[in-house]
Structure 1
Amino acid sequence: MRDVSLNRIAINRIWRAREISDVRAFHYDTNLERNKKFSSRAVIVLCYAHWEGYFADCINTLIDYFQQAGFSYYNLNENFILGAVTPIFDSYKNKTDNLANRLTVTQELRGIKNQDFALFDRKVLLPRSNLNFDRLRFVYSILGEDIQPFQKHRIRLDGELVKWRHMVAHGEMFTMENDFVKSHTQLCEELMLLIGDTFENLIYEYS
């Protein structure tokens, strides 16, 4: 089970890195200005898609591993409990706020720590289509992992990887020189390596 999860994380990164390399090579090889503009936008959109997509895949791999292994919240970092209480809090929004309903919620919360991981609400960890540094830091606090390796990339993560994706989505037209494309794609590749290391280490830690 552990090796399957580790292999899933590795294979997922490899094909994504290969696709980033392919779009980078396409940009290098084309000489037409029209194609350069198109490939610049393709690089930006694809890099963000793989950054967020790889992160989401790693989250799902980890949660699948915990569920298949039969972990309870008691076995994990205490902040994982958010994934158990979120559905309870969400259901309370639709109820009348009175003592009887508060008691019901209290009773539901009381035994959560010893429950298994089957009903974990993944949305507390998934990227939500905007995987900036703040969101990454929040998720790492749930995982109980150190955000420090990402600190040096914080400005570029928010101001380049995320912001440029938004700019392209809103119709901004610009052409990147080869050096910028190289730098941008390498940023994405390095971030994916850091993400992969985090989740591989988590699986080893809990195996």
Structure 2
Amino acid sequence: MIRTTDQLIDRIAEELVWRRKELTELRSMAQEYDGQLRSRVIIRSAVALLYAHWEGFVKKTSSYYLEYVASHRLPYRRLTANFVALKLRSKFSELSASERISGGNALADFFCTSLDTQSNVPYRNVVDTKSNLSSTVLLDILSALGLDHAPFATRLNFIDSNLVNPRNHIAHGEEIDVTVAEYLQLHDDVIVLIETYRNEIENSSVLKRFDRGV
């Protein structure tokens, strides 16, 4: 269980290190074989891997942050609304599946009696990137985790047009030409994007933005 900010930061750092090593290796190879067919093949592979590491990093570190928040076991009343909402999702699912008149009792009971009890924030298999981490999906994840949208506002079009769409074309076996220069810029931009997400999670943990009592 991730219980401290230092533990969370360490886990995120570990997650980033191995991903950067792989991407840096591909970057070097693309430059080394510039002008050759091998470079074109490497670039196509690298674009797909850039997306994969972006999606994987968001999914993993989001789960780490949820685990960190869950470990505090704060009363529901002190949690920001987004984390209470994660807990309520399962209760709403149960309610919608029930045909009993009394089906809503459990949900009503939560609001009447459970707000001062220790929270049980779900953190396993909660973050769904839908295998297509578009700007729309990203904004939904940011909202679910209570993270700030502002640092990503100028990057939303980039995510869809420069990262997700090319990756989808490549994944579907379609021909797409990306020059070495374009790929190098894409690499740098994705690293910035990953670092931005990292900063948001770390800042939220340090400032305890999930705790309305702070």
TM-score over 0.5 for the pair: yes
Residue 74 of structure 2 aligns with which residue? Answer: 71
For 1:104 and 1:5, locate their aligned partners in 2 and report how far apart those are by CA, in whole Å: 34
For 2:151 and 2:23, locate their aligned partners in 1 and report how far apart those are by CA, in whole Å: 22
Residue 195 of structure 1 aligns with which residue? Answer: 197
Q: What's the TM-score once normalised by structure 2's chain length?
A: 0.85
- AA in 2 matched with 1:23: L
Greater RCO (CA < 8 Å, at least 6 residues apart): 1
The alignment covers a number of residue pairs equal to 206
79 and 159 in structure 1: CA distance in 2 versus 1, 3 angstrom threshold: same
For 2:75 and 2:93, locate their aligned partners in 1 and report how far apart those are by CA, in whole Å: 21
User: What are the superposed Cα offsets for residues 125-175 of structure 1, whole Å, 9 maximum, x if unpaired?
Assistant: 432222111222222223333211112111111112111111111111233
User: What are the superposed Cα offsets for residues 11-33 of structure 1, whole Å, 9 maximum, x if unpaired?
Assistant: 21222122211111111112574
For 2:155 and 2:14, locate their aligned partners in 1 and report how far apart those are by CA, in whole Å: 24
For 2:119 and 2:62, locate their aligned partners in 1 and report how far apart those are by CA, in whole Å: 14
Question: Which of residues 64, 86, 90 is equivalent to 1:87?
Answer: 90
Asked if 1:141 is matched to 2:140, the reply is no
For 2:118 and 2:60, locate their aligned partners in 1 and report how far apart those are by CA, in whole Å: 21
1:27 and 1:39 in contact (8 A); partners too: yes
Superposed CA RMSD: 2.2
183 and 194 in structure 1: CA distance in 2 versus 1, 3 angstrom threshold: same
70 and 45 in structure 1: CA distance in 2 versus 1, 3 angstrom threshold: same
**Amino-acid identity (%):** 22
For 2:28 and 2:113, locate their aligned partners in 1 and report how far apart those are by CA, in whole Å: 54
169 and 115 in structure 1: CA distance in 2 versus 1, 3 angstrom threshold: farther
- Indicate the SS of the match to 1:135: helix
> In the TM superposition, what are the counterparts of 1:19-168 in structure 2 within 5 Å?
19-31=22-34, 33-96=36-99, 98-120=100-122, 125-168=127-170
- AA in 2 matched with 1:138: D
1:200, distance to aligned residue in structure 2 (A): 0.5
Comparing 100-109 with 76-85, greater Cα deviation is found at 100-109
For 1:165 and 1:115, locate their aligned partners in 2 and report how far apart those are by CA, in whole Å: 45
Q: What's the TM-score once normalised by structure 1's chain length?
A: 0.88
- Indicate the SS of the match to 1:57: helix
Comparing 184-193 with 165-174, greater Cα deviation is found at 165-174
Ranges in structure 1 where 5+ consecutive residues have no aligned partner: none
- AA in 1 matched with 2:47: I
14 and 72 in structure 1: CA distance in 2 versus 1, 3 angstrom threshold: farther
